[in-house]
Amino acid sequence: MIEKEELAGLVPHKGRMLLLTRINEYNLEEQTLHAEYHITEDCLFYDAAVGGVPAWVAFEFMAQAIAALSGLRGRQRAEKPSIGFILGVSSLQIGLPFFTTGSTVELKVKESGCMDQVFSFYGEAFLEGRKVLEGKLTVMEVHDGQLQSFIKENRQIG
């Protein structure tokens, strides 16, 4: 089990943008990770009108679980966490409107394909053991040198 303090060193997300509470288990050979996020009013996506977080936000929870898996792979190579971008979310099925404050969302992600720096994952979210959301995420991993080059090139354009 990896708690939030150690988890913060595996992903580029900081402060309120870190949307994982802990990693419960992972397997780098099978490219799987199980994590969770405890819903509080401090969540960046908290909506007081519904007393919780919209369920569609779980795709961001899953994306951060993917980032944590990438961070674990990078840690084996003594690399710092990479930046990732969500390129697409598909086949998203949502079984509830929102996650209530105090609930714990369990997340499972599994890599289903990879080409260069683009990865496909299947993700699921569970609430009290019941699957409430599933979908496919396509993400792109960008290493720090590539990101710095992109920023430099785009500053020159404008």
| Per-residue model confidence as pLDDT tens digits over 78-113 | 888 888 899 999 999 999 999 999 999 999 999 999
Report the pLDDT value the prediction gives residue 81, as an integer from 0 to 100. 86
* Number of domains the chain contains: 1
The boundaries of the domain holding residue 63 are 2-157
pLDDT digits (tens, 9 = 90+) for 32-51: 999 999 999 999 999 999 99
Residue with tokens 């890599």: 111
The Cα-based distances of 29 to 38, 62, 127 in angstroms read 27, 19, 27
Q: What CATH code is carried by the domain that includes residue 17?
A: 3.10.129.10
Are 45 and 17 in contact by the 8 Å Cβ rule? The answer is no
> How many Cβ atoms sit within 10 Å of the Cβ of residue 150?
11
Separation of alpha carbons 153 and 53, rounded Å: 37
